[in-house]
Amino acid sequence: MNIRTWFFTVAVLALHTSVFAGNGDYVVYNKTFSMSKSKIYEVFIDVDAGEVTVSRSATSQTVSVFMEYDRDQFDERVSFNDDKSRLKVQLDHRGSFVKDDETHAIVEISLPFDVEVMVDSRIKAGEITMYLGGIPIREFSMRNWAGETTVTFDQPNPVTMDVLDVNVKVGEMTIENLGNAHAKLMDINSGIGELTVDFNGDVIDGSKARLDLDIGEASVYMPDNAGVKISIGGFLKFMSAKNIDSDFYKRGSYYYSEDYESQKKKLYVRITPGLGELNISR
């Protein structure tokens, strides 16, 4: 084997190899792609099941994708097209049903901090954790069917996000420091389960949010650096238990924070409660 063939073989094995761990035969995928600062990239994440983590990359213009999964249960497809400014990460489960105790799948994606992206995530089942602080996100869409979801914006978004759209059918969802997302429009829908939404952070003036709740307990934390106006509507609003912090007073059909008039920034939140308990505090 000549030296060129040896290096090629090692490179291929480093990117896509099979490893034996425990009782499973796992496939490992690990690759990094370079992005251009002058473009806005679409990032599609389509995973049937597993532990999914999205975070900020340590590099300014590269995105990395790591996956480890059971070769007998999953099929992986990753495609990066720089001309179309598009990255697709897919992990398809071959069966009709997913059993957590019999499934091994890990997906980790690191997004650059100096390239603007639009993120579209669709995950059917699993544990999802997204650390999105400091990533320039123009649009963010998430669809989760079942599982536990945590989305955190620990740093302000370097750009203004046009739309944040989150929909979780069944499970527990937590969104932290949503004010740092710098989203003009926020649409959050929780089906059955527990919802926690924290609007603290660097809220942009005039931002609007809609929370649609079906069944379960919802805890909503309003920021103290913005004047907050709240509307509670829907035909089930009289059937939900509502606990609203004394810092808010009702005037007409709306609730206002005590400092609504004096704050320079304003946040409007419309909440449609379902069957369960709604807690609003500051």
At 56-82, the pLDDT tens digits run 999 999 999 999 999 999 999 999 999
* Domain residue spans of the chain: 16-281
- Residue 281: which of 242, 240, 239 has the closest Cα? 242
Number of H helices, E strands in the chain: 1, 18
Tell whether pTM > 0.75.
Answer: yes
Inform me whether the pLDDT recorded for 19 exceeds 60: no
* 273, two tokens: 């409660």
Inform me whether the pLDDT recorded for 18 exceeds 60: no
Instruction: Answer left, alpha or beta for residue 263, where phi above 0 means left and psi between -120 and 50 means alpha.
Output: beta
Q: What is the mean pLDDT of the chain?
A: 89
Rounded to an integer, what distance in angstroms lies between the CA atom of residue 272 and that of residue 249?
18
- Residue 237: which of 210, 267, 257, 212 has the closest Cα? 212
Handedness of CA 178, 127, 124, 25 (dihedral sign): positive
Per CATH, which fold does 16-281 belong to?
Answer: Pectate Lyase C-like (2.160.20)
Per DSSP, 247 falls in state T
Inform me whether the pLDDT recorded for 235 exceeds 80: no
Whole-number pLDDT of residue 171 = 93
